[in-house]
Amino acid sequence: MESHTNSNEEFNFQDLVSTYYQPLYRFAYSLARNAEEAADLTQQTFLIWAKKGSTLKDKTKVKSWLFTTLYREFLGLRRKSSRFPHINAEAIEHELPSISPDVVSKLDSKRALEALNEIDETFRAPLVLFYMKDLAYKEIAEILDIPIGTVMSRLSRGKAQLKKILSTGNKPIT
């Protein structure tokens, strides 16, 4: 890995792994809903960093670069396997977005996790990135390769779907 740090020494590989492994793994797990696949995606992301990370000149873009790379790897795997991914919400139970107190009193945590899983992946990914990974709209737009306006729209629609599911028990309209 030494050969990959020659032109960009401010990026210490061990520091990057220490700082970003857990957030990347949690994001991968929320997409893949499988511990092994999440670990593979996270490791693949760092392998790609080891090969190509030295080309990143702006140190402030490391987080976005890593999350974008992981998301693109996930999409590539999804295309290859031709299956629809689901979030294993039990792994992120403590990170669900807040909902009104009257709704909270009417449901249990298992139902909330099921509701998150019922949301279309198109809207689930921005929700996870915004509420669980604390990313800005711009970072989400870069990761998902969509305009900022689309991020805001998908967040709004995703929250509406989650609220509808939680308040009525109905599946969302996509």
Per-residue confidence in pLDDT tens, the chain, 174 aa: 444 433 444 568 888 888 899 999 998 998 888 888 899 999 998 999 888 887 888 878 888 889 989 988 888 877 766 544 445 556 555 665 565 666 555 556 667 667 777 888 888 888 878 877 788 888 898 888 899 889 989 898 988 888 888 777 655 555
Instruction: Report the run of H or E that residue 50 belongs to, with start and end.
Output: helix 35-52
User: Model-level pTM?
Assistant: 0.49
Burial of residue 162 (number of CB atoms within 10 Å: 0-12, 13-18, 19+): buried
Give the single-character DSSP code of 5: T
**pLDDT for position 85:** 43
**pLDDT for position 171:** 57
> Can you give the length of the chain in residues?
174
Q: Specify the amino acid at residue 81.
A: S
Give the single-character DSSP code of 7: T
- Nearest residue to 162 via CA among 147, 174, 145, 149: 174
Cα 34-40-43 angle, rounded to 5 deg: 140
